[in-house]
Chain A
C-alpha cells in the first residue's frame, strides 16, 4: 500500500514540482499516471522509492515512512520495489542473466556480492524470472544484442527477481515500436494479475493507459486533478489534465 499525505516537492531553484499530493494506492492495483511532460509524473513516481526526496509531507510504503529512511533501511525498502525505466538501464555489455541477477544484490552482504557469490536459490529466481518473461533462452546472450522489447523484458525480469510487491514504471514503453509496446504492456498486465504486484506507471500514451490500467491519476502543474477508475475518464477530463485537446502524439493509435 502506497500513501501520499500532503506531499510537496520544491527544488532549490524555487520550482515547485509537487503541490499538496494526497494519494492512496492499494495492493494489487494497476495505476497509470498521465499528464504533460514536466507536470510532475516522474517526481511523483520517484518519491515512492525516495529516488527524489520530498520537501514536505509524508510518503508511506507498506507502512513505513519512506521519507525518513536512510542508508541500509532505505536500501532494504527499495529492494522490495522494482523500477522500470524508459531506456531500460541495462548493462549493455553484460549478459542478460547477469543483469537480472543484479536485482538480487540488496539481499546479500557486500562481501559476497562483490565476489559474485550468489546462492543457488538466487540464480534460480533470476532464471525463473526470465522464464516468466518468456526469454529464458536468451539468458546468456549479451544484453545489447536483444531488441528493444526484449531488453525491457529483461528489465522486467530484473524487477521480478527482486520478488517485489510494487513495480514502478517510468514511461516503460515510450521507446518501443507500436507492436512491441502492446506486448510489453500485456506483460505488465499479466504480472499485475498473476503475481498480485502493484503497478504504478507513468504513461505517455493516453489510450494505452486507459486500456491497461484500472485507475488513472491525472497530474497538471504538480497537482493531482483527477484520480479515479478508468470508466470515469471523459474527454473533457482529459482536456483538463493536458490543458489542451489531445494530439496524435499522446495516443499510440493502431
Chain B
C-alpha cells in the first residue's frame, strides 16, 4: 500500500499506507456483522402507520376539541403524576448525591493515603455503576413492591454511582494548599476535609447534582412504565389506544424539561 516518490533532487520518500481507509473498512465490516443480528422483514414495514400515528399524537381524538386535548394535559391525574415524577426524581437524586459524599471522599487519592482504602472504594463504585438503572429498578420492585419507592431507590443508587465518580475526580483536582494549612494548625482529618475541601468542591458538586437531576427526570418516565411510579404509567396506559393523550403528555414533558433546563442554566450561571 505504501507509495514511493522520487523527488527532483533524487531523494526517495516512502509514504505510509492510508490508515483512514483501513479504519473505514473495519467499521463497515463490523456494521455488516452486527446487521446479521438485526433481521429485517421488509413486508412488515408499514409507513402509512407512521403518518397515521404522528397525526394522532398532536391532534384531538375524534369527537373532541383542542380544548379537551389540553384539558387532559392539565387534568388532576396527569399533573399529580407529573409532580410524582419530579418528586421522586428529586428525592432520589438527593439521597444518591448525599450518600455519594463519604464514598467519594474515601476514593480520593489526595485525601486517603492508603491504596487499599481508595481502591476498594473505587471498585465498589465501579460495580454499582455498571448496573443499568433499569435493572436496579426491576430488582427494587422485587424488594419493595410497586409504586414510587423502588423508583426513588433506583434513582438514588444510579445517582450514587455517577456522583461518587464525579465528586472524587473533582476532589483530586482541588488545591491541596488549604488542607495542608489546616493540617498544620492541628485540625483532624475530618475537620480539614470539612473546612478546606468542601468549599472548593461545593459549586462543582451542585453542578453535577443538577445534571443528574435533569437526567433522572427523563429516566423516571421509563420507570413509570415498569411500575415504579411517575408519569410513565399514564403513557403506558394510553399507548396503542389514545395517542392524543400520549402526544399531550409528551408536550407536557417537553415543556417541563425545557423549564428545568433553563432553571439549571440560570443556577449554573450564578454558581460560576
A interface with B by C-beta (< 8 Å): 97, 120, 123-124, 127-128, 131, 136, 139-140
Q: How close is A130's CB to chain B, nearest CB, in angstroms? A: 9
8 A Cβ contacts from B85-120 to A: none
**A-B CB pair tally, cutoff 8 Å:** 21
Further pairs besides A124-B8, A136-B13, A139-B13: 18, Cβ < 8 Å:
A97-B15, A120-B5, A123-B5, A123-B15, A124-B5, A124-B7, A127-B5, A127-B7, A127-B13, A128-B7, A128-B8, A128-B9, A131-B7, A131-B9, A131-B11, A136-B11, A140-B15, A140-B16
Question: How far apart sit A124 and B5, CA to CA, in the bound complex (Å)?
Answer: 7
Question: How far apart sit A127 and B9, CA to CA, in the bound complex (Å)?
Answer: 11
B contact residues, total (Cβ < 8 Å): 8
Q: CB-defined interface of B1-26 with A at 8 Å, one 1/0 digit per residue?
A: 00001011101010110000000000
A-chain residues with CB within 8 Å of residue B15 when the two chains form the complex: 97, 123, 140
Question: How far apart sit A124 and B11, CA to CA, in the bound complex (Å)?
Answer: 11
Closest 6 CB pairs of A and B: A128-B7, A127-B13, A140-B16, A124-B5, A127-B7, A127-B5
Q: Is the interface of B mostly helix, strand, loop or mixed?
A: loop
6 interchain pairs, CB-CB under 8 A: A127-B13, A128-B9, A131-B7, A131-B9, A136-B13, A140-B16
A-chain residues with CB within 8 Å of residue B5 when the two chains form the complex: 120, 123-124, 127
A-chain residues with CB within 8 Å of residue B8 when the two chains form the complex: 124, 128
B-chain residues with CB within 8 Å of residue A124 when the two chains form the complex: 5, 7-8
Question: How far apart sit A139 and B5, CA to CA, in the bound complex (Å)?
Answer: 12
Question: How far apart sit A124 and B13, CA to CA, in the bound complex (Å)?
Answer: 9
Q: How close is B20's CB to chain A, nearest CB, in angstroms? A: 9
Question: How far apart sit A58 and B101, CA to CA, in the bound complex (Å)?
Answer: 67
Question: How far apart sit A221 and B165, CA to CA, in the bound complex (Å)?
Answer: 55
A-chain residues with CB within 8 Å of residue B16 when the two chains form the complex: 140
A-chain residues with CB within 8 Å of residue B13 when the two chains form the complex: 127, 136, 139
Across the interface, name the chain A residue whose C-beta is closest to B20. Answer: A116
Question: How far apart sit A131 and B9, CA to CA, in the bound complex (Å)?
Answer: 9
Q: How close is B4's CB to chain A, nearest CB, in angstroms? A: 11
A-chain residues with CB within 8 Å of residue B7 when the two chains form the complex: 124, 127-128, 131
Q: How close is B18's CB to chain A, nearest CB, in angstroms? A: 9
